[in-house]
Amino acid sequence: MKFWNWNRSLNTTLTMLVVSFAVVAAVTVTGIAQVAADNATNPWGAAVAGAAPQTENVLDSKLDDRYRIGPGDVLEIRVFNRPQLSLDAARVDARGMIRMPLIEEELRAVCRTENDLAGEIAQRYKKYQRNPQVFVYIKEYNSQPVAVIGAVEKPGRFQLQRRVRLLELISLVGGPTERAGTRIQVAHMGNGLSCDSSGAPFVNEEDLGNFEVYGLAETLQGDYQSNPYIQPGDVITVPEADQAFIVGNVYKPAPILLKVPTTLSQAIATAGGALPDSNLKRIRVIRQEPGKRNKYELFVNLVAISQKQADDPLLHPGDIVEVQTHSGRRMMRNLLGGVGPTLSTLPLYVFR
């Protein structure tokens, strides 16, 4: 009969386990050392290590587009399972502060997002409740008004609920009309309160009352330099194009929009051209210089312009172009025009 030696079997098992753990530890240490060496010698290792901060920066830049609470906004603040600590309507005062139950000092709400303010309130309530859950909602948006006026399809006043660029706001009002000029004016008429990238408020008094001018075509094309972020209180104006006026002996007397440099002959052609009996050698232009009350006259020979014997002058805003007639020819035409109906009323006799 053979007896099993339990002590010997136990010792053998323990020895095998110790050897296995030693091998695993050695492989692990070697792997860690190899990874560290690769990161130290391989430049790609440093780029990969910096990928996480880069992703975080990208996320931060997108989070900056979130709405920042401002003075006048009305907030709804809910503390889970604590109705006595919740507020149905908390208005942010002119200093950007709010008050909460059981919190002695005021809390800064301005330039914070809903999540940021909820986290601050939850931190203050930890002395009264274990792991409080706080939810902040913006009930009324009142702190970021902007207005769009001028030659747009649907001018109006808006309350921003997020950061908006100029092109998006212009498209929101239906775009420019046919009478729109070539410029967009942005006047900064707010209170100067702004938020930096970290969410801290500051007052930028230098921009108060200033305005910027952008090209309408560049803005509509989405040019980065002509498509800035709109600030609270901005008034965007799309001025109508400058006009000149074509009157007199033309087919369609009407104002002419000077969206692009327009010459005298082009303006008359836009009005349908001159009628018969027009004195094309003496086109009268009445002009008034900006800032002055006195007007003066210019006389242009359109025949010489068509024969390239004279320059075709550019029209100025407010010019009145009058196409005059030859008085003698016009009088004869009027007489003939009056005689024609009279002759038609006479009786007709036939001689056989």
Task: Let me know if 328 is exposed, middle or buried by CB neighbors in 10 A (0-12, 13-18, 19+).
Answer: exposed
Query: How far is residue 214's CA from residue 228's CA, in Å, rounded to a whole number?
Result: 10
Tokens for 310, please give them: 């004279």
Residue 339 lies in a domain: no
pLDDT at 336: 45
Q: 306 and 323 in one domain?
A: yes
Residue among 261, 240, 23, 63 at smallest CA distance from 163: 63
Answer whether residue 61 is part of any domain. no
Dihedral of the CA atoms 9, 11, 17, 21 (nearest 10)? -170
Task: Let me know whether 123 and 170 are in one domain.
Answer: no
Q: Where are the alpha helices (DSSP H) in the chain?
A: 6-41, 43-49, 51-63, 114-124, 166-172, 216-220, 264-270, 302-306, 327-344
Domain's final residue, options 140, 159, 188: 140
**Which residues, at least 6 apart from 193, have a Cβ–Cβ distance to it below 8 Å?**
70, 71, 96, 110, 201, 202, 203, 232
Residue type for position 182: T
Which residues are CB-neighbours of 177 under 8 A, at least 6 positions away?
151, 152, 153
Q: For residues 99 and 86, what is the distance between their CA atoms, to the nearest angstrom?
A: 11
pLDDT, position 148: 96
CA separation for the pair 265, 283 (Å, rounded): 10
- Confirm whether 37 is domain-assigned: no
Q: Examine residue 85 and state whether it is found in any structural domain, yes or no.
A: yes
Claim to verify: residue 190 and residue 248 sit in the same structural domain = no
- Mean pLDDT, consecutive 10-residue stretches, the chain (352 aa), reads 46 52 48 43 36 40 71 94 93 93 93 93 92 94 93 94 92 94 90 72 71 93 93 92 92 91 94 91 90 87 93 93 75 49 55 56
Whether 105 is covered by a domain: the verdict is yes
Comparing CA positions, the residue from 176, 263, 258 lying closest to residue 217 is 176
Query: Pairing between strand 234-238 and 243-248?
Result: unpaired
CA separation for the pair 157, 169 (Å, rounded): 11
Note the pLDDT of residue 347: 60
Report yes or no on 17 lying in a domain: no
Statement to judge: residues 174 and 91 lie in one domain: no
Residue with tokens 């880069």: 54
C-beta of residue 131 within 8 angstroms of C-beta of residue 180: no
- Tokens linked to 149: 């006026």
Residues 100 and 162 in one domain: no
Q: What angle do CA 216, 219, 224 make, to 5 degrees?
A: 150
Q: What pLDDT was estimated at residue 210?
A: 82
The two counts, helices (H) then strands (E), for the chain are 9, 17
Q: CATH number, domain at 90? A: 3.30.1950.10
User: How many structural domains are present in the chain?
Assistant: 3
- At a CB cut-off of 8 Å and minimum separation 6, what does 282 contact? 299, 300, 301, 324
Report the CATH number that the domain containing residue 205 is assigned in CATH: 3.10.560
My answer on whether 206 and 252 are in the same domain is no
Question: What is the rounded distance in angstroms from the CA atom of residue 163 to the CA atom of residue 62?
Answer: 11
Measure CA 320 to chain center: 36
Kindly state whether residues 149 and 234 are assigned to the same domain.
yes
The answer to whether residues 127 and 171 belong to one domain is no
Domain that holds residue 297: 243-329
Q: Is residue 224 part of a domain?
A: yes
CA distance 84 to 306: 86
Residue 104 domain flag: yes
Q: Select from 190, 218, 238 the last residue of a domain.
A: 238
Give residue-wise pLDDT tens across range 279-308.
Answer: 999 999 999 887 788 889 999 999 999 999
Q: Are 266 and 248 in the same domain? A: yes
Say whether both 177 and 198 belong to one domain.
Answer: yes
92 and 108 housed in the same domain: yes
127 and 89 in one domain?
A: yes
Give dist(CA 317, CA 250) in Å, integer.
20
Q: Which of 216, 238, 260 is the last residue in one of the domains? A: 238
- Say what the pLDDT of residue 322 is: 93
Look-up of token digits 């005059």: 324
How is residue 70 written in tokens? 């401002």
- pLDDT tens, residue by residue, 217-254: 999 999 999 999 998 889 999 999 999 999 999 999 99
Give the N- to C-terminal CA distance of the chain in Å, as an integer: 167
What is this structure's pTM? Answer: 0.63
- Beta-carbon contacts of 290 under 8 Å, excluding residues fewer than 6 positions away, are 317
